[in-house]
Homo-oligomer: A and B are copies of this chain.
Amino acid sequence: MTPYPSDALSVQLPALKSGPVSVAGWIHRVRRIGGLTFVVIRDGLGLMQVRHSDADAPLPRLEPEMAVRVSGVLVQESRAPDGVEIREPAFDVLSEPESPLPFHLGAPTLEAGLDLRLNHRTASLRHPSIRQVFQIEAALAEGFRSGLAARHFTEVWTPKLLGCASESGANVFSVQYFDREAFLAQSPQFYKQMLVGVFGRVYEIGPVFRAEPHDTVRHLSQYTSMDVEMGFIDDHHTVMAVLRDVMDVMLQTARPESALDWPKVPDAIPVVHFADALEMVSEGLGEDVRHEPDLAPAHEQWLGAWAKSQYGSDFLFVEGYPMQKRPFYTAPDPARALYSNSFDLLFRGQEIVTGGQRLHRYQDYLEALQERGMSTAGLEGYLEAFRLGMPPHGGFAIGLERLASRLMGLANIRDAALFPRDLKRLEP
């Protein structure tokens, strides 16, 4: 078998011994100082500094975004960004850009508005500050999986094409499926519950689809959902305990080296009941919201500030949302039937996770559907899971793009999707 090409990666260079080396990447920036030319090469993971002096073999014409391979000598150089630089370079140009770039990628920040960034996505993604968002997303997913694997969760892949739009009904995309109509899954909710009966604890990372008819900074038509469901819980507090621990692994895994203000998950995330939250918000904002059925964004912001000042916590659990605002499969609070065994996790005053305990008895499902005037038609396969023995179970879902945009302080969720899809955008 042919060995891999022997190019070193940017992340490997600092640990290599001085001596001959080859690297490969793109021309990121060229700077001439005195008789020296400094060429910054960008590979898929980082930047590398190449120093060319007049005594070296002549440089070819170098332009930003050329793909090149560079052979030279690696030396320790304390003034170089990573403590190493490549000298006596020989450049092999692998391919050349065909057209002027839509913007300058060598600058520390990308000077390009949202539409320009998204219309020329293969270009804007090459900028290190933009690319980093997705390196963090990959690390968040890695932490999510490793945290769950350590707790014996099984990864599953469920259908995205459904015969029935029953889960929510609204904002569903319709698909021409041979000679009938199908619908794109808005979440793996039903399937992850059904699979609790098989694997006990499951998770899925995959796309979900929402035909969101509004053009907002918070919604995408397709996003990556990180879904968890587990059986044999006491109640929703078991789910919250798992979420706390998994979120901790995620943030530790994804923490960038350069992060100054990276959040820490407290050992015990503070918990407030929905009813108490409304009391506190009413007092705090001087406005009676005690009869609201849900938290408005301003309420969540107030609660986030409160959790920070009271507990020093970026995270806050709100539990016990009213049953009327939660889906039919939600388990009620056994002590207060108007409230549910559900929760949201707020991060810096914004919801990043929703979860809760579900009903687990077949008869409870029949009653819950009837109360809401819903039919069992199309739900037969889902309900069969509850006709078999199903334990008390619950779970949660994290939107990967939403979490990343909150962590990175991005104003628009589109910047947290490689190729975002919205009301108007299907390209690139």
Contact = CB atoms under 8 A, between A and B. Distances in A.
A183 to B, nearest CB: 9
Nearest to A401: B157
Given A44-B198, A173-B176, A238-B4, A160 B95 contact: no
A361 B4 contact: no
A314 to B, nearest CB: 16
A82 to B, nearest CB: 16
Interface in A310-369: 360-363
Interface string A190-233: 01001111111100001101010100000001101000000111
Contacts of A2: 234, 237-238, 240-241
A8 to B, nearest CB: 11
Nearest to A419: B159
A109 interface: no
A360 B213 CA distance: 38
A167 interface: no
Interface string A151-164: 01011111111111
B11 A67 contact: no
B126 A427 contact: no
A88 interface: no
How many copies make up the complex? 2
Given A194-B122, A419-B191, A1 B67 contact: no
A254 interface: no
A85 B303 CA distance: 50
Interface string A124-162: 011000010011011001100100010010111111111
A280 to B, nearest CB: 21
A98 B362 contact: yes
A94 interface: yes
A343 to B, nearest CB: 12
Nearest to A384: B122
A80 interface: no
Interface in A370-428: 378, 380-382, 384-392, 400, 418-419, 421, 423, 426-428
Contact of A240 (B1, B157, B174, B387): B1
Nearest to A423: B178
Given A122-B194, A178-B213, A388-B123, A157 B428 contact: no
A45 B222 CA distance: 32
Nearest to A389: B67
A297 B176 CA distance: 31
Contacts of A268: 1
Contacts of A27: 389
15 contacts: A2-B238, A4-B241, A9-B200, A44-B154, A44-B231, A45-B200, A67-B231, A67-B390, A94-B389, A138-B156, A159-B421, A161-B173, A174-B176, A175-B176, A178-B423
Interface of A: 1-5, 7, 9, 11, 24-27, 43-45, 65-69, 94-99, 101, 120-123, 125-126, 131, 134-135, 137-138, 141-142, 145, 149, 152, 154-164, 173-178, 180, 182, 184, 191, 194-201, 206-207, 209, 211, 213, 221-222, 224, 231-234, 237-238, 240-242, 244, 267-269, 360-363, 378, 380-382, 384-392, 400, 418-419, 421, 423, 426-428
